[in-house]
Amino acid sequence: MLAYLIRRLFAAAVMLLVIILVVFSIFFLVPKWAGVDVATSFVGKQADPAAVQAVREKLGLSDPIYSQVWEFFKGIFAGRTYAAGGDVTRCAAPCFGYSFRSEQAVWPVLTDRFPVTLGLALGAAVLWLVFGVAAGVLSALKRGSLWDRGAMVVALGGVSLPIYFTGLLSLAIFSYGLKWIDAQYVPIGQSFTGWIGGMILPWITLAFLYAAMYARITRATMLEILGEDYIRTARAKGLREQTVIGKHAMRSTMTPILTMLGMDLGALIGGAILTETTFSLPGLGQKVLDAIKNQDLPFILGVTLITSLAVLIANLVVDILYAVIDPRVRLT
């Protein structure tokens, strides 16, 4: 178990390194290959050459790429110092650098926005797990019934609807039309009920999309598992149907569900870009979209790191949970 953990953590660290390198190459090498000067595009088109040179020197943009990557990593753990001539700026650890556009420090903005996205992702995940899995299990048990067909039609509709459309529809109907909800984001520290009020529409629309997917997968998996020999054995032993389904069938059904949950939750924590854009939630996704449009590399690196870390951690937790849920799985 411990060896397994160490190996997985090592693999995760390698993966993070690869991701950082890829992001660096996307934003430094691709523009170079396309013939665009990175430093000039950061300073702005009208900037005079001296200013461009100063910025380039201070940010270390003319250094070779490996030393830029090294400086970036060093900054996270030990802080870093930006210097160009007499102009010296000290950035304490964890230092993710400064925005190329607004000269804001990246780390405080990330910590400021992270709770919004985390709240959105976790709240929606609870909703879609409960409703999606329940609907899928019920459909599988009452296969071919009116409920099954109805639920699967709704689910198929759900996976075919883009979130930015259902989001806008729900805003138009519940917030503007019926005036039930004031869709305005309020930080949880300010007012708990206000926070719930602002998050309820994003939660429901996001959960609807995922619940539809999870219901379809749950139903398919459950149907397959109900045909397995060990279920027949359990029934033959005279176990109650409740136990057969609840304990024996549910355990294996949850394995693929958990795999999906790990990936989906990780990706969402790193920024529910579409949902946050639709509902104007000030989370990581909205920020990274801004940053990408402005080619603001430090922010993109920061958010990408958090996202990748979230995906990796979520996957690791899921793999460990497998062993708990499914007795056939052994971690080696």
Partner 1 sequence: MTAPLHEPTAEAAPSAADEAAVASADAKAVQGRSLGRIAWERLKRDKLALSGGIIVLLLIAVAILAPVIAHAVGQDPELHHEDLIDPLFGTPKGSLGGLSGSHLFGVEPVSGRDIFARIVYGAQISLLVGFLSAVVAVVLGTVLGILAGFFGGWVDSVISRVMDGLLAFPQLLFIIALVSVMPNQMLGLTGTGVRVFVMILVIGFFGWPYIGRVVRGQTLSLREREYVEAARSLGAGRLYILFKELLPNLVAPIIVYTTMMIPTNILTEAALSFLGVGVKPPTASWGQMLSNAIDYYDSDPMYMVVPGVAIFITVLAFNLFGDGVRDALDPKGSR
Site residues for partner 1 per CB under 8 A: 15, 18-19, 22-23, 26-27, 30-31, 34-36, 156-157, 159-162, 164-165, 168-169, 171-172, 176, 223-224, 263, 266-267, 270-271, 273-274, 277-278, 288-289, 292-293, 295, 300, 303-304, 307-308, 311-312, 315
> φ and ψ at 81, to 5 degrees?
-120, 125
CB 253 within 8 A of CB 137: yes
Closest distance of CB 90 from partner 1, Å: 30
Closest distance of CB 243 from partner 1, Å: 25
Burial class of 155 by CB neighbour count within 10 A (0 to 12, 13 to 18, 19+): buried
Instruction: Identify which of 264, 272, 271, 253 has the alpha carbon closest to the alpha carbon of residue 311.
Output: 264
Instruction: Identify which of 11, 20, 96 has the alpha carbon closest to the alpha carbon of residue 65.
Output: 20
Closest distance of CB 310 from partner 1, Å: 8
CB 304 within 8 A of CB 290: no
In angstroms, rounded to a whole number, what is the distance separating the alpha carbons of residues 226 and 316?
A: 28
First-to-last C-alpha distance (Å) of the chain: 7
Would you say 35 or 238 has its CB closer to partner 1? Answer: 35
Long-range contacts of residues 182-185, Cβ cutoff 8 Å, at least 24 apart: 183/279, 185/116, 185/279, 185/280, 185/281, 185/282
Would you say 24 or 131 has its CB closer to partner 1? Answer: 24
In angstroms, rounded to a whole number, what is the distance separating the alpha carbons of residues 266 and 37?
A: 34
Closest distance of CB 307 from partner 1, Å: 4
Structure tokens at 81: 């110092």
Closest distance of CB 84 from partner 1, Å: 26
Would you say 6 or 159 has its CB closer to partner 1? Answer: 159
Would you say 66 or 176 has its CB closer to partner 1? Answer: 176
Residue that the structure tokens 């009208």 belong to = 46
Closest distance of CB 330 from partner 1, Å: 20
Residue type, 73: F
Q: Quick one: CA dihedral 31, 34, 38, 42, positive or negative?
A: negative
Would you say 267 or 321 has its CB closer to partner 1? Answer: 267
Would you say 80 or 155 has its CB closer to partner 1? Answer: 155
Closest distance of CB 59 from partner 1, Å: 18
Would you say 36 or 83 has its CB closer to partner 1? Answer: 36
Closest distance of CB 245 from partner 1, Å: 19
Would you say 80 or 298 has its CB closer to partner 1? Answer: 298
